Structure 1
Amino acid sequence: MKWGGAAMGADPSIGVVDPFNRLWAAPNVLVVDGACWPTSAWQSPTLTMMAITRRACLQALRSRGG
């Protein structure tokens, strides 16, 4: 199964989102679904998506002093 479209990368030359799922071009936008994954395993990715979403949201709150 193919995923992707918003690859995660350490810098904008190799990815669309940073390690905290913020768009490099628009850091106020979070990508918290399977778009940041190149592929998926055979298992349901729901819990992984939830964990990625939680991590991205916690980082967003921390960056705003919350």
Structure 2
Amino acid sequence: MTNPRTVDPAPADLDGDLASLRGDCARMVPRWVAPARVLTRPVPLTLIHGVRVPKTSARLLDAMSDYGD
């Protein structure tokens, strides 16, 4: 008997390793279309007034070992 399935299902392990994530991304590539050309210009420095971070977000990032330690 042949297997009629043509697409692999999503992995059951959602906490997989980097290799499984790269495999998932590789399978999704045909579904993603990148624009042929992106027209962006630099933002003038006069429009940049700083970054404001809510206190709750700052506490969250401070509690994360990658950012707080």
TM range (shorter): under 0.3
Q: Which has the higher contact order (CA 8 A, sep 6+)?
A: 1
Comparing both structures, which one devotes a greater share of its residues to helix? Answer: 2
TM (normalized to structure 1)? 0.25
TM (normalized to structure 2)? 0.24
